[in-house]
C-alpha cells in the first residue's frame, strides 16, 4: 500500500466535517466508521469555534486542512499558511477552484500554488482532475499525493470517467492517489479502491444521509472490500463465457 507522506492509514477512508446536522452526528459518523482522516476547512473552523476544534481533536484522527473556497493561487497559499499555524500540521488539501458551476480546479493556479507550498515545506494533497499533463506538473512541483475527482463536488455521480482514471492510475504507479469528490454511494468507493486508488475522500454522501453514522460505516465496509479485492488480484474481463464447471471427467451420453 502506498503511504501518504510517510503515513500509512489503517483504513483508506477520509471524511469531511461539514454539512452534518450537528457536531454530535459528525462525531458519531467518525466513531462508527473509524475513518482515520478528517478534512477541516479553516473558514469553517473560524465560524464553528473552539468547541468544534476540541471535538475533532478528540477523535484522534489525522487532520487534513483544506483551502476550500479559494479561487486564486495567492488566496490558497495564504489560507494554507494560516491553516498550518492553526492546526499544527504540514498536510494541506489544496483547492484552487476555477469554475463556479462545476467547482473544477483551476489547473494554472493549482500548479502555481503547489510549487510555492511544496517549497515552503507543506505536504500537499492537490484536488485535481484526471488530466495526466496536469498530474505530471503537480508531481514535478513536489506533490507526492494526487486527489483526482470522481465527479463534481457534491454531485454523487460516482466515477464519471473510468477510462481517464484508469489511465491516470497506470501512468503514475508510485504516486499515492485519493479519489476526491462526487462519490454518492458506498459502491462508488469500492469501485475506486478496486481500480487501485489508495483511498477515497467524501463528505456530502455521509453528512446528508438520513443516518450519517450508518452511511459512514457503509462506506468504511466498502473501502475495506474494495482494497481487499484490489490486493487479491481480480479476474480480467472476457468477451466470451467460460464454464466454471470443468468438462474433464464428464459423462458423454
Distances (CA, A) of 249 to 177, 245, 252: 48, 11, 9
Distance CA 103, CA 124 (A): 19
Distance CA 106, CA 213 (A): 33
Report whether 204 belongs to an annotated binding site.
yes
The answer to whether 150 and 182 have CB atoms below 8 angstroms apart is yes
Distance CA 119, CA 108 (A): 17
**Is 93 a catalytic site residue?**
yes
Nine-digit cell string for 227: 482494497
Question: What are φ and ψ of residue 170, in 5° steps?
Answer: -70, -30
Strands annotated E in 11-55: 13-16, 37-41
Distance CA 148, CA 217 (A): 23
Report whether 58 belongs to an annotated binding site.
no
CB atoms within 10 A of CB 235: 7
Report whether 181 belongs to an annotated binding site.
yes
Report whether 49 belongs to an annotated binding site.
no
Q: Among residues 65, 73, 93, 176, which one is catalytic?
A: 93
Report the binding-site residues.
154, 181-182, 203-204
Report the binding-site residues for 1-deoxy-D-xylulose 5-phosphate.
154, 181-182, 203-204
Q: Which residues are tagged catalytic? A: 93
Amino acid at each position: 500500500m502506498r503511504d501518504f507522506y510517510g503515513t500509512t492509514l489503517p483504513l483508506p477512508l477520509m471524511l469531511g466535517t461539514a454539512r452534518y446536522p450537528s457536531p454530535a452526528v459528525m462525531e458519531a459518523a467518525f466513531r462508527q466508521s473509524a475513518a482515520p482522516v478528517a478534512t477541516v476547512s479553516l473558514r469553517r473552523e473560524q465560524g464553528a469555534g473552539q468547541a468544534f476544534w476540541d471535538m475533532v481533536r478528540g477523535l484522534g484522527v489525522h487532520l487534513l486542512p483544506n483551502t476550500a473556497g479559494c479561487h486564486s493561487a495567492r488566496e490558497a497559499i495564504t489560507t494554507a499558511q494560516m491553516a498550518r499555524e492553526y492546526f499544527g500540521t504540514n498536510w494541506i488539501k489544496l483547492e484552487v477552484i476555477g469554475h463556479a458551476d462545476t467547482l473544477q480546479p483551476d489547473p494554472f493556479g493549482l500548479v502555481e500554488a503547489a510549487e510555492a507550498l511544496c517549497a515552503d515545506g507543506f505536504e500537499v494533497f492537490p484536488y485535481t482532475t484526471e488530466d495526466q499533463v496536469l498530474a505530471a506538473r503537480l508531481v514535478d512541483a513536489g506533490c507526492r499525493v494526487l486527489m483526482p475527482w470522481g465527479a463534481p463536488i457534491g454531485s454523487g455521480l460516482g466515477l464519471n470517467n473510468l477510462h481517464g482514471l484508469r489511465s491516470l492510475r497506470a501512468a503514475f504507479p508510485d504516486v499515492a492517489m485519493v479519489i476526491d469528490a462526487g462519490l454518492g454511494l458506498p459502491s462508488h468507493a469500492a469501485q475506486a479502491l478496486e481500480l487501485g486508488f489508495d483511498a477515497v475522500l467524501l463528505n456530502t454522501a455521509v453528512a446528508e444521509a438520513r443516518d450519517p453514522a450508518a452511511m459512514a460505516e457503509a462506506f468504511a465496509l466498502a473501502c475495506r472490500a474494495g482494497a481487499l479485492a484490489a490486493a487479491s488480484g481480480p479476474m480480467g474481463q472476457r468477451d466470451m463465457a467460460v464454464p466454471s464447471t470443468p468438462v474433464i471427467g464428464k459423462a458423454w451420453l
